[in-house]
A = this chain, B = another copy of it.
Amino acid sequence: MTVFDDGIALEALGDGLLRGRTVPQWANMVGPFGGITAATLLRAVELQSDVHGFPVALTVNYLAPIADGDFDIRARAVRTNRSNQHWYVELSQNGEVKTTATAVFAVRRETWADTEIGRPDVGAPESIEDASAGFGVAWTRNYDLRFIDGALPAAGAGESTTSTTTLWVRDRPARPIDFASLTSLCDIFYPRLWLRRGQLLPAGTISFTAYFHAGPAELAEQGDGYLLATARAQGFSGGHFDQSAQIWSRAGDLLATTHQLVYYKA
């Protein structure tokens, strides 16, 4: 049991109800890190006895902060087809819905395949220092974070014309990658607004989507090695910005593409 396993742990209470609890090591500024919540909702589907296939698409909506303590999750298979299955998931506390998700699980088949975009050409993670202690929140210490570009702006940093961050990342302690931990990694990036403005400003994800390009065999091949994560925003307006990101294997395989819409004040 690593801290990641502890963060996504769920107990089956019968009748499809699962119970989890917040873990202090995953605390963010308000409530838990969004990535561990997304991973927990995905895991809630993986634990269902009638689950069919493996995750290909996940959307998580953050409705309200999760308070410290227990939470309940209900997952419902809205439709099961021959080759895929559609889920709706709700996380609630005291009857109040805090997070929802839709997930598509599917049977992966051998097909023509191609990765059209290229992985950023970067140096080895071993030559870069871990920066996970510099964020002032608990959860970043559950990762080894080695920034190539776009590290957290230091106090007094000026504005940046680009929102691109690229980093090597690995669970701490190291842990074989699976769909749950890959989901959490899709949310590894601090808000792109901070990089653009050179300062920490109020911002929080309201909707998150991940597409999984790798199947269980490809994930197993990664072991517990470093993954390369890169993200950028396209537009900031009216109190919301988007983020698009890719998660790559060290060998150069595209494991996931992911997008989110983030609320901000600036």
Contact = CB atoms under 8 A, between A and B. Distances in A.
Say whether chain A's binding surface is mostly helix, strand, loop, or mixed.
strand
Interface string A238-266: 11101010100000001001010101111
A257 to B, nearest CB: 5
Given A100-B102, A246-B234, A261 B86 contact: no
A234 B104 contact: no
A135 to B, nearest CB: 23
Interface residues of A, number: 62
A257 B79 CA distance: 28
B239 A213 contact: no
Nearest to A209: B209
Contacts of A110: 238
Q: How many copies does the complex hold?
A: 2
A265 B57 CA distance: 18
A214 B234 CA distance: 13
Contact of A265 (B111, B233, B266): B111
B261 A115 contact: no
Given A57-B207, A242-B213, A259-B259, A113 B237 contact: yes
Interface stretch (A7-15, A58-66, A149-157, A175-183): A58-66
A206 to B, nearest CB: 6
Contacts of A211: 207, 240, 242, 259, 261
A115 to B, nearest CB: 5
A209 B86 CA distance: 15
